[in-house]
Each structure stands twice: as C-alpha cells, then as structure tokens.
Structure 1
Amino acid sequence: MLDVFVIGAGPIGLACGIEAQKRGLSYVIVDKGCLVNSIYNYPANMTFFSTSDKLEIGEVPFISHNPKPTRPEALEYYRRVTSSWKLNVRLYEPVNSVEKKGDFFVITTSKATFEARNVILATGFYDLPYLLNVPGEDLPKVRHYYKEAHPYFGMKVLVIGAANSGVDVALETYRKGAKEVTMVIRDDVIGERVKYWVKPDIENRIKEGSIKAYFKSQVTAIRETEVDIVTPEGMKTLENDFVLAMTGYQPSFSFLKSMNIEIGTDDFLTPVHNPETMETNVPGIYLAGVICGGLKTNKWFIENSRVHAEVIMEGIAKKEAV
C-alpha cells in the first residue's frame, strides 16, 4: 500500500515525489509519456518566460547559460533532478482508472495495479488541443503541435492564434524560409501576454508586411491547397500548404470526472478543490500545478505552483501520522 500515487511526471509531479521522499512517505510517480513530457513537446528552440531560479525544485540549482533558460536546458535540469533524488518514476505507463475502495484507491495502469491512500493529479493541460471544428481540420497539413521550422521551408504557412506559441511559430517559420507566413487572429491586437522581448518583433514584421495578419478573423474551412477565412472585409480564400493551429490546450476533464471530481460552473470550469490544502471534493485526491486552473491555463506555472507539492505533502504527512 503506497502513501501517495502521483499522476504526471512533469516538474510539479516530480516536486510532489521529492516532498513525499523528504517526509518518509512511500510514493510512485507515473506518466503516460516521457519525463517532463509537456516540456519535451515544446518547440525545439523555445525559451522560457521565467528565469532558471524560478523553475528549480528539490533544492537542485538550475544553471542556465542564457538570461532565460531554453527547452534543452530544462530537459537536462529535470533529468538531473530525477537522478539526484533517485525518484521512483515509471514512464510510458498510462493510468486507465482510479477507483476508491473504502479509505484507499485502486489505480490501474497499462502495466500494473496499485493501491494508495492518496492520489495527486499533476497532469497539466498539454494533451488536448482546442479544435477549430471546421471542415478539413483532419487533413494531414493541419498541425496543433509545432516542433521546428525546417519542414515549412518554401511553404505557404497559415498560423492561427496570437499568444506566445502563435507568435513564436510565425516568427520562426518566417525567418527559416517559409515562402509566405499569414496569421489569423481572433482579436484585434497581438496578445498582451506575449513575451515582452518578442511582441515588438512580431508587430514590426506585420507592420512592414513581412508577415501578413488578419485581425478579428477566423478560419472557416481548410482544403488541400486552400484555406477560407472570414475577415472584417468579408470572405477570403488563401493558397496554403500548412495550417499551424496554435489555439491552446486544455486539461482532460473526462479523466477528472471519471474519478468523481466535480467541475465548477465558472467560465474556466475550475475543478473543485480546497485552495488551502489542494484536496478535491473526493477525500484523498489532490490537484497540483496548472490543472488547478481548469481552462485558465495561464493562471498556474511552475514558478507559482511549486508550493502545491509542499502544501499537499504536509497535509498528507499529518493525516498519515494520526
């Protein structure tokens, strides 16, 4: 019988394992993908908004060679943290079900069955993209994830979205030789939360015409060689090779509901939990990290949710001591 079963081997899930280890609690961290799977799936050349010290966990220093750490540096750092603490991590092992049996839980994964007194969900939000729900979205040319610019050299690229990911993709594909880069933006301006050192760059590229932008617009149909968009000036059809839909991602609400976790009725569908203990309406199940914000995925980051691990483990340790 484990004291704690952690679902998600991202930075916050790892932090939970560290805090459990500090308190002598038995635990396992399970992830359906690789270590820090979300960070691994970020664009290859991504730079974090946070400084390296704000990404640290487990008192392991994060030394970056840049003012802001990069994706490769973060991957190296979290591998080092996992090795330094000798964390009990099981990767590529999806969780199929979590069932409450009296005062403990039975967790079934693709490889084994576990029993645990407490479960922590640190699953993030990167697995389910917001879909456009337009004809042609299932074509191979439509991508909801972006890795690097090379495949789009010489191509006509349409980027949907003007948050950090959309802006980064537009600038990188433009600079790496895309034949034409066009942005389709729902709002009338570039997102206010775009990284401050990037925002003037994209605004100037749009102003000079290097990147075409359609504001207050949306895609209505995608075909093999064309895209239809509705703009304030009416319908337009553009020649197109690839659509990069950087429309954001959302947590798996169906997974939460399968454990009887209540979802709030607010605009962000915030999972019901006590913000002082991080415990959900299901006693013994806790939330940690970005999943606590529901659809408001910009509320919690590594830097401001690291504390969740300490709060949760302190509560569990007291409960187990009784």
Structure 2
Amino acid sequence: MSGTGQRLVDDYALVVFDLDGVIYLIDQPIPGAVEAVARLHGEGRAVAYATNNASRRPGDVADLLIGMGVQARPEEVLTSAAAAAQLLSERLPAGAPVLVVGAEALRAEISEVGLTPVTTADDSPVAVIQGYGPQVGWADLAEAAVAVRGGAAWIATNTDRTLPSGRGPLPGNGALVAALATALGRDPDEIVGKPAPELFATAARRVAGGRTLVVGDRLDTDIEGANRAGLDSLLVLTGVSDVAELFAAAPPHRPTFVSRDLTGLFDPTEVVRVPAPDGATGGWHVLSGADGWELSGSGRPLDALAALCAAAWSRHPAGLPRSASPEAAEALEDLGLAS
C-alpha cells in the first residue's frame, strides 16, 4: 500500500493494539488514538488490546483506557499476566504454591486461576512467576533465585528491556529478568508475553474467517510476535522503535506496514508497505557503495522510507543514508534522519 486510495483497515476483521507507545504513553493518550479506536468501533470493527505489562488486570486496563476516553471492555484486553497464570493453571495442581515476583495484579491473576501466591522460597513454591512491578527489588529477586535453585519452574510474563515514558525508555521487566538470569546463570524456562505468539494468536482466534492486523511500536516484541503468529503488522512511530532501528531490523523484526501514527489505518497517504517492491519506490532512488548510501529523487517521505528499507534489508549499507538533493534532505528530516 502506497497511497493507492484503499484504506489499510478495510483488509482486516480485527485490529489488535499494543498499549504503551501506541494507544497511550504512561497515563496520557497518544494524539489521535482516542479518535482512531472510536472510528473502528463506529464502523463495527473488532478491536483487541494485547499488553506485556503485567502490573494491571484486564478490567483495570479497560478502566484506564476508558478514563482516557478510549472505548474498551475487559474482554477485549489480553495481558501477559493473565496468559502466564493460565499457563501455570494448566500445568500445576489446584492450590499449588507459586512465588510471585511482580505487582499485586499478578498475584490476583494467580489466585484467580486457583493457585496459591506466596512471597518467600520458604513456602516451597513449585513455580516462580516474574512480571513487571514498580516496587520489585533485590529481596524479591533473592527469594526467586533461592526458589529456582531449589527446583521451582521459572516463568517470565515478558522480557521487554524497557518501558516507554515521557522521560525516555526506562527499565522494563526484561531488565529485572536479566538480573535474575545473571545470578542463576540461565534463562527462564518459559516467556509468555510478546514476542511469544500466544497473545496475538489468542486474539486472532476470536474472528474466525477474518484477517488480523497487529499494531505496535516495538520491533522486538510487537512486530516479532505478529510475525511468529503469522499475522500482518503495522509499526507506528509513536513509541520505542524509530526509523534507524527499522533499517537495522533482522527478518523476524520487520513489519508489513509503517505509519507515523494510527491515522495510517484510515488514510492511504499516511501508511506504506515495507520494503518497497522493485520499481515501485514512489519516485525515490537509493544508491549504496563502500562509502555508505544515498537517497535521491522526490515524493512522499513514507515512500522514501519504503525504498530505504528495501536497500537496507538487501544491501546492508553502513551508517545512515545521506541526501543527494534538497527533496531528499527534507524527506530524511521528516523521517527523523537529518544529520
């Protein structure tokens, strides 16, 4: 899709949104998100929300969204905490003790599925479940280390290295999982949240016979998760991953489409398929050599992005592209690539 006149959303029966960096940033909606979701609901389109944040329950997430003006129901929300708790309930006997490292919401999910949340290794937990919680500290990680060394299974809700914030990326659950992994000398037995495909696959099963589009801001979780689930994806540039990261993306991290924000769902001029197919670069040309790569021509900045992705992913040029014309310089500046 490259400004063809057909809306991206019309090809899909369900749109699954990541939350942080797509719908909101911490506690404020991202510009245009409220209107985009309302438009989808107004057209009768199915919507779901999939989040790796394990510090809130689905009902809490729905309430948070509603408080921002975003239409949401608890049954539309899929969290890594609920998915991880469900996984353990299928593997452990009812009432089994599980050491919870994370927020109160994660403890509640463990209780909800009939398991017993505990706080110390002295309670002989058969499993450790680790999720994001702003109050998680050294003592929590120490108890988990003792429990895992004692034979408990170790499940992580997700391994996001960072969380988006108004002050820039902050340490996420992945940073705390890495600390425990360093102490134990091994990785978790299982990671439930994105980029594992289950959250997206669960959502997609709700619309039998229709296609699903995943919308995310992170290449290493949202986009890889969509690819692993066999689903198309839209990368929006309102959160963590930027254009420079997109150029360096390995195949598992490459989206189907890119848009600056959620307007790309409805406006064909604000979204582009990546990479650009040969001969369809929207008036742009990319030359590469030993001394780097260069953009020339004219057209939409998003078409320049698609052409640059094609070159980056096939030729792997070093550094960031240079401009060979004033139009190219303007396009690179628009994409956040000005030198």
User: Which has the bigger relative contact order, CA under 8 A and spacing at least 6?
Assistant: 1
Give the TM-score band, short-chain normalised: 0.3 to 0.5
Structure (1 or 2) with the greater helix fraction: 2
Scaled by the length of structure 2, what TM-score is found?
Answer: 0.34
Scaled by the length of structure 1, what TM-score is found?
Answer: 0.35
